[in-house]
Chains A and B, each alone.
Chain A
Amino acid sequence: MMDVQTKLAGMRTAARKAITVSIVLLGLLGGSAIAQGGELRFCLRSEPKTFDPLKVEDDASVAIRYLTGGVLVRLNRQTQALEPELAQSWKVSKDGKQITFRLRGGVSFSDGTPFSAEDVAYTVQQLMDPALHSPTGDAFRSGPGNVDTKIISPTEISITFPAPVAGLDRQFDQVAILSAHSAKKEMAVLGPFMVADYKPGTSVLLKRNPNYWKSDAQGRKLPYLDSVRLDIQPNRDVEMLRFKRSEIDLINSLDSEYFDKLASTSPQLVHDAGPSLDSEQMWFNEVAKAPLPEFKKNWFRSATFRRAVSEAINREDLSRVVFRGHAQPAAGPVSPANKFWFNSSLKAQAYAPDAALKALQGDGFRMQNGTLIDKSGNAVVFSIITNSGNKYRERMATMIQEDLQKIGIHVNVVTLDFPSLIERMTQTFDYEAILLGLTNVGLDPNEQMNVWLSSSENHQWNPQEKAPETAWEAEIDRLMRAQASSADPRTRKESFDRVQEIAVEQSPFIYLVNRNALSAVATTVQGASPVILVPQTYWNAEQLSVKEVKSANHTGY
């Protein structure tokens, strides 16, 4: 019986290997010639809210904007360097208020309407309309006043902002140019693909833009693909099943659990690009008017208490157990994946429960029968809220609960659905600590401006302070404004490095881990090179192609 089982297992393994080898061989044979045509299929995890690139706010619409929108400059997701697209060259003024673009000539929108500086001026004016409330537009709004656009010639335009905009050229990576004259309005595009069909709740079909201006090194017109089919699929289990059944070709931001499952059977399909820009973090409620007992507010407002909690959390364990090794302990507000802005002098907080306890004892806390007691005799107990349904955060909260128990702190873990959590976080301030993640899309520190400024709505631990309530918050305000008003990258880096140091010293956010950028790509997709920046797998969509391979499924099941 045992022999039969062993033989069967052997045969299964051999069959799997044979399929894998044949797929790899097919890939190698086809590698020399890039396939043209074909359809790339992957899932959007929600319904796109808009096809208007200026109003984009949700991930699904961002994906469509990336694939269809033509931009003046593009941040290369692999090198993190800015590259010319519709603008052949550009120049930012010394004061950081003005940018002048020299545009590519002979370019047309997907409907044949010619592209000129007039379209850029129209797009900028639309984008900066205060009534639009566009996240893309708000990123340019660094001071009161109007934006001035000056068309120098059909291929040259200068845009002047009322106040300096730090990283001004990089911000244009998100601005898809609209046509000022096309009757098709936002459906006339300059990107590699255009929206051909939309079945609400089901799918979006993008077809190759016949007027796309780019060609490859051999002079072949880009994109290689005929079409991209985006299936709307909110359920990640279904997305994974469909990938296994070869119904889709890519998965972005793959769960570490799924990653390992796929890796065990088909390692050639999965990609771990290393730490992403996203971070998982927790913070305490420091809002003065929060409905919390005064003694708890005192704990949460004490930097010693926050640092001690940070020291008592074992980040290595969080990475290893919760994320199965596909995460790195976080060093601070910026992920090491952000090559230029990461402060390399910062190291991830080492697990040091003894040092944490000593620091707390120095601050008047004492241990009594295994429970930490404050100066006034109150047992240290608090609750951590996280969003329900996120298994990784639920597991992290449980592990933090166990870690803090070791220094006598009792933690209650509470999960709430997202709207309830946001209400507590932003309106009622009825919480003690929150564990959430921050999804970073951009690299520039200005992207985090509304998190760090004490007067901001998104200054999560204590929003909308009338004046900075602590000296270190005042210092962060000063440094963030200084870096935003400077056009010199070195000066900006110095200021932002100090912000990162203060953030670690004061620990208003306790940074836990940076998740790795995990993805899955079918072997039929040629030219894929997953990166850490969004969109991980299809950042070079115009150079991707899909080869038709008659295989039952990607995983060889």
Chain B
Amino acid sequence: MLGRRIARHGLAMLATVLLGGLLSATLVRLAPGFGVDEQQLDPHLNSESIQALRQARMEHRNIFRFYFHSLQRAAHGDLGTSISLGQPVSALLRQRAPLTMRLVGIGLLLSWAGALAMALSAACLRVTAYDALTTAISGMFLCIPAAVLALLSVLWNVPGALAIGLIVFPQVYRYARNLLAKSYSLPHIITARAKGLSELRILFWHVVPVAGPQLLALAGVSVSIAIGAAIPVEALCGLAGVGQLAWQAALARDLPLLMNLTILVTLVTLLANSGADVIGHMLRGQEA
């Protein structure tokens, strides 16, 4: 049963990644400004050199041929060469991924720690004023655009990971709070409370098993939110991660780089979501 579930997820992932890659390549190809190079405005270049520049960009005009060749090369471990940076895409990803992974990892830890602490305390205490306060705090962070949080982190010289954490925090808090509040209002938990069970016992024996699978699903979603947040944070804070690379690639219409980045982000997101789903399924199986 679990094996079939994993296989189904694997197939869905493969299909989504292939389709996502093709769609992103098509969108970049159709974007205005595709196939032009800023360098061709250099007055030192003669007509032959400008034509050569144009010709180099023309190679990717036929999107289906480009995609097919890219997949063929990728099967041999070659992800192509970035047009704007002139370096192999695989090398660029290797150089930049560790920083993004660290930023996203720390950001997720911070956001989840903050959101769970506030959501749990609000659900346990059931004090209207406190609940309103925590909701107002998360609402405030929800209203502040990611770019503003990134700029503030630059201005106040705080780590970019904190900005990512603050961007993800309200999303996690709102779901977690509703989920926990709903779990605490279930009849058997009200009965357990009436019988005088300790809060810790109620939490770990009755609330977590109910809310756990959905929190796991939320964890999967929060990974993609954090990766999305890494783009403006890295671009504005000048952090040399995959997010900054994606930003530069988009501005330069760098087809090979953008396509590989889309595939990578799709893959990570799907892995996180599928992982959460499979673990949730395993937990439910153990309960049954």
Query: Which A residues are closer than 8 A to B by beta carbons?
Result: 47, 49-50, 57-58, 130, 133-136, 138-139, 141, 199-202, 232-235, 237-238, 241, 245, 416-423, 426-427, 447-451, 455-458, 464
Contacts and interface: CB of A to CB of B under 8 A. Distances in A.
Contact of A450 (B37, B45, B96, B235): B45
B154 interface: yes
Interface of B: 31-50, 52-53, 85-87, 91-92, 95-96, 151, 154-155, 157, 235-238, 240-241, 244-245, 248, 251-253
Contacts of A417: 33, 251
Contacts of A451: 43
A419 B245 contact: no
**Chain B binding surface, main DSSP class:** helix
B41 A232 contact: no
Most buried by A among B34, B46, B48, B85: B46
Most buried by A among B35, B50, B157, B251: B50
Given A422-B33, A426-B36, A450 B238 contact: no
Contacts of A235: 154, 235-238
B85 A450 contact: no
A279 to B, nearest CB: 13
Contacts of A58: 39
A450 B157 contact: no
Contacts of B85: 47, 49
Given A419-B251, A450-B46, A457-B47, A57 B39 contact: yes
B96 A419 contact: no
A233 B157 contact: no
B43 A133 contact: no
A202 B248 CA distance: 14
A449 B36 contact: no
A210 B88 CA distance: 33
B50 to A, nearest CB: 5
A138 B45 contact: yes
A135 B33 contact: no
B137 to A, nearest CB: 27
Most buried by A among B36, B151, B248: B36
Most buried by A among B33, B235, B244, B251: B33
A238 B33 CA distance: 28
Given A139-B44, A201-B245, A235-B236, A419 B32 contact: yes
15 contacts: A47-B85, A133-B52, A138-B49, A200-B96, A201-B245, A237-B151, A237-B154, A238-B237, A422-B36, A423-B32, A426-B40, A447-B43, A450-B45, A451-B43, A458-B50
A202 B49 CA distance: 31
Q: What 8 pairs across the A-B complex have the smallest Cβ distances?
A: A201-B240, A419-B33, A135-B44, A420-B33, A133-B49, A420-B32, A422-B36, A200-B95
Contacts of B32: 416, 419-420, 423
B169 to A, nearest CB: 24
Contacts of B42: 57, 135
Contacts of A201: 95-96, 240-241, 244-245
